[in-house]
Amino acid sequence: MGKKHRTAITPTRAEDFPEWYQQVIKAADMAENSPVRGCMIIKPYGFALWENIQRVFDGWLKDYGVQNASFPLLIPLSFLEKEAEHIDGFAKECAVVTHHRLEAGENGLVPAGKLEEPYVIRPTSETIIGDAMSRWIQSYRDLPMKLNQWSNVMRWEMRTRLFLRTSEFFWHEGHNAFETPEEAKDDCLIILGMYEKFFEEYLAFSGFTGIKTPDERFPGALETYAFEAVMQDGKALQAATTHDLGQTFSRSCNITFQGRDGTEQLAHTTSWAFSTRVIGGMIMIHGDDDGMMMPPRIAPQQVIILPFIKDESTEDDIYSFAQDVADKLKAQGVRVHIDKRDMRSSDKMWDAVKKGVPVRVEIGGREVEKGEVTYVRRDIGRDSKETLSVDGFLKKLPTVLGDIHDAMLARSKAFRDEHTIDGETVSDIEEFFAADRIGLMKVPVSVLDDADLEAVMKKHSLSTRCMPFADNGKKVLIGKAY
């Protein structure tokens, strides 16, 4: 029996996927649990990733005519009560502020100064943004109104997992208002297309876009559209959603305008979002048993330079050479970092591997003497090791980064397709999930009307994910989900 290959992450994906996921985040130094129940601390490396995501997509939103704004973290309870279906959908997850000061008690500080009206820490902002829209929109000339905020949200989750499901998380939430229902629907589809494009072109993963079934629809929405991705353990992750809210919130928030014919009309609104959950998706789609694998177009560090110092007499020359290479990379717009920590070269190398830096550059005395660099691709490993002149490396790097992205995206698409199985009946669903097979099952929408489906869904903890556009709404994806 051959010797087992040693991996940087223990346990491996095959041994314990949930624990592997947690260990990857720890090894990559991306986040950690906080003293606040269910909340996380996003560390600098992880937050740099979120900043890159925010920077790129925020630019896309601005190009689409969306303006950024900021709304209160605290939402009056009466605002949520105006929309019964909406509050029912979030009631169990709401954190509520009832007092406005602390006083000394017998056993320490106690809440005092009870508020006349409780405030809910925002689970989402349809109601409070709708209230603002009701003042800002007076005429059809004020439409469309396209707003977005990058913010944090609180949903008091019972079972949490870093990035995937935490009580507090970061997201962007868009809220648009339109004159006609056709414009609102188009907005949902345009934004969903932007999500799909962004996930493929920057995060290097693919998925399914489609319509949510009524039982998975956002509370208060006429229709919910979603992007569903498949993780390496076969579970689905809802990476982003857009919601056609019709006139639901316009009615409860009184978002009216004078129409072109002079009559008072209700606006048609939409909302849409993705959150730091997409980082969890990136980890579960791209990571391997040695750690994270960062898509190069969004990676905090696209290149890491590792100076290999064997003799103190060469240290200054190696660092000077490394800095010169770094400066030339920065001039090309590359995000580069030199690891100058006083530690073993092998430890630096494994740290770069676990963090998933796309390209690792090794510079020692030999490279300095010959004016060369040795580089390794994270997605391939030592088999990709190549030594080039500095100019040759600078010229080749854009192609290398592009090839890494393309390879990661291709693997994601292949995995999605290989683990999406066609079925026809409830019996097919039962057989597939009873055998603990990995992936999703795609069945005709008519299966949803089968009386036996509910029992099978409950037995295997399944849910409908979406009705993919690619199947013209004739099929529905069913599977386990995060």
291 within domain boundaries? no
Say if residue 151 is in the same domain as residue 213: yes
Query: Do residue 74 and residue 44 come from a single domain?
Result: yes
- Shared domain for 275 and 310, answered yes or no, is no
Pair of tokens at residue 157: 């989750």
The residue from 416, 436, 458 where one domain ends is 416
**Are 95 and 156 a contacting pair, CB within 8 Å?**
yes
Residue 126 backbone phi and psi in degrees, to 5: -50, -45
Residues 233 and 98 in one domain: yes
Residues in CB range of 266: below 8 A, 6 or more apart: 247, 250, 251, 255, 256
Q: Within this chain, do residues 273 and 328 fall inside the same structural domain, yes or no?
A: no
CA distance linking residue 390 with residue 368, whole number of Å: 10
Whether 183 maps to a domain, the answer reads yes
According to DSSP, residue 448 is labeled G
- Given a contact cutoff of 8 angstroms between Cβ atoms, the answer to whether 350 and 378 are in contact is no
Bond preceding residue 144 cis, omega within 30 of 0: yes
The answer to whether residues 211 and 274 belong to one domain is: yes
User: Which domain range does residue 360 map to?
Assistant: 303-416
The predicted pLDDT at position 1 comes to 43
In a domain, 297, yes or no: no
Query: Which of 170, 148, 413, 153 shows the shortest CA–CA distance to 276?
Result: 170
Weakly modelled stretches of the chain, pLDDT under 50: 1-2
Flag whether 332 is in a domain. Answer: yes
Q: Is 10 part of a structural domain of the chain?
A: no
For residue 6, tell me if it sits in a domain.
no
Q: pLDDT tens, 291-327?
A: 999 999 999 999 999 999 988 878 999 999 999 999 9
Which pLDDT value is given to residue 82?
A: 84
| DSSP-based three-state secondary structure for 128 | helix
* Residue positions counted in the chain: 482
Cα-based distances in Å from 171 to 58, 190, 301 = 12, 19, 22
The domain that contains 91 carries what CATH number? 3.30.930.10
3-state secondary structure 351-396: HHHHHCCCEEEEECHHHHHHCEEEEEECCCEEEEEEEEEHHHHHHH
Q: What is d(CA 462, CA 428) in angstroms, rounded to the nearest whole number?
A: 14
Query: Buried b vs exposed e over 106-144: b needs ≥16 C-beta within 10 Å?
Result: eeeeeeeeeeeebbbbbbbbbbbbbbbbbeebeebeebb
The reply to whether 206 and 346 lie within a common domain is no
Query: How far is C-alpha 317 from the geometric centre of its chain's CA atoms?
Result: 42
Same domain, yes or no, for 49 and 187? yes
133 and 84 co-located in one domain: yes
For 155, other C-beta atoms within 10 Å of its C-beta total 19
Q: How many domains does the chain have?
A: 3
Question: What are all long-range contacts of 27-36, with beta carbons under 8 Å and residues at least 24 apart?
Answer: 27/291, 27/292, 27/354, 27/355, 28/291, 28/292, 28/354, 28/355, 28/356, 29/355, 30/163, 30/279, 30/292, 31/162, 31/163, 32/162, 33/162, 36/167, 36/168
Is residue 424 a part of any domain in this protein? yes
Same domain (yes/no): 282, 140: yes
Cα–Cα distance between 301 and 334 in angstroms, integer? 8
d(CA 42, CA 431): 41
The Cα 260–Cα 151 span in angstroms is 35
Closest alpha carbon to 196 in 221, 218, 229: 229
Q: Residue 406 sits in a domain of what CATH number?
A: 3.40.50.800
463, 478 Cβ separation under 8 angstroms? yes
Residues 229 and 352 in one domain: no
Pairing status of strand 74-76 against strand 95-105 = unpaired
Choose the final residue of a domain: 416, 451, 468. Answer: 416
Does 64 reside within a domain? yes
Within 10 angstroms of residue 384's Cβ, the number of other Cβ atoms is 16
132/136 Cα distance (integer angstroms): 6
C-alpha 242 chain-centroid distance:
14
- Where on the phi/psi map is residue 262: left (φ > 0), alpha (ψ -120 to 50), or beta? left
Bin 113: left if φ > 0, else alpha if -120 < ψ < 50, else beta.
left
The reply to whether 175 and 321 lie within a common domain is: no
Distance CA 352, CA 261 (A): 63
Q: Given this model, what pLDDT does residue 5 score?
A: 67
At 134, give phi and psi (nearest 5°).
-65, -25
